[in-house]
């Protein structure tokens, strides 16, 4: 239950607002590279280049070259982007309607570990669906992306930046995320949290 003292909401993107299936991307890379799926999973979870891209340490072109080298493939940019974006399964309209309503009741923020190729794709899909009217950022008072900040959740400094720039009181702020480790990072700073354990939990929580 949302306590009356909450004035600010900080949403994660994937698995909370955006339907996400990393498995779709990993299976696509397995097919493209002809590597066993288990090997692709091992590479994805154990190779620093993916985290480097999320922190903006490497640009899009360098990331694509990293994918070619890592998976021993010679795919063109468009094919790589399509494969990388396969995990993005769309944002249900009902969640966008919820965010629009919440903006009138709370200060609403987005804080996402993400990357430039994903955000470009999400906005392209949203513009096509909404007749070119609204980008993702417009559903929040301010959106924060790891690759632009040079920081990632669950590290304290990414939360501290959002709090400080917007003068948010931690005890009046609710952070919603689907990863335990990110929830713990926010809790360590006194931020209230909601662990999103199912895709539609936020709809039930806010009675959408």
Structural domain spans, the chain: 8-20+89-205, 22-87
Architecture of domain 22-87: Orthogonal Bundle (1.10)
Number of helices (H), then strands (E), belonging to the chain: the values are 11, 5
**Residues counted in the chain:** 208
Confidence of residue 34 (pLDDT cuts 50, 70, 90): very high
Tokens for 46, please give them. Answer: 């154990």
Average pLDDT of span 173-182 = 97
Domain 8-20+89-205 classification at class level: alpha beta
Mean pLDDT of the chain: 95
**pLDDT of 120-173, one tens digit each?**
999 999 888 765 578 999 999 999 999 999 999 999 999 999 999 999 999 999
- CA–CA gap between residue 167 and residue 182 (Å, rounded): 21
Phi–psi pair at 136, nearest 5 degrees: -55, -45
């Amino acid at each position: 239950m949302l306590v009356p003292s909450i004035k600010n909401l900080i949403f994660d993107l994937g698995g909370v607002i955006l339907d996400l299936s990393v498995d779709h991307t990993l299976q696509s890379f397995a097919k493209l590279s002809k590597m066993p799926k288990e090997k692709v999973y091992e590479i994805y979870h154990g190779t620093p280049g993916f985290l480097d891209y999320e922190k903006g340490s490497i640009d899009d072109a360098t990331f694509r070259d990293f994918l070619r080298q890592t998976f021993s493939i010679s795919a063109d940019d468009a094919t790589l982007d399509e494969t990388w974006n396969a995990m993005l399964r769309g944002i249900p309209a009902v969640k966008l309607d919820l965010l629009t309503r919440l903006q009138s009741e709370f200060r609403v923020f987005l804080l996402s570990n993400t990357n430039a190729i994903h955000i470009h794709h999400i906005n392209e899909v949203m513009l096509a669906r909404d007749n070119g009217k609204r980008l993702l950022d417009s559903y929040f008072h301010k959106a924060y992306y790891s690759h632009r900040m040079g920081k990632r959740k669950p590290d304290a400094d990414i939360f501290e930046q959002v709090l400080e720039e917007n003068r948010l009181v931690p005890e009046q702020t609710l952070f919603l995320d689907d990863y335990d480790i990110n929830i713990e990072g926010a809790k360590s700073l006194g931020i209230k949290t909601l662990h999103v354990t199912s895709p539609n939990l936020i709809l039930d929580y806010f009675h959408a």
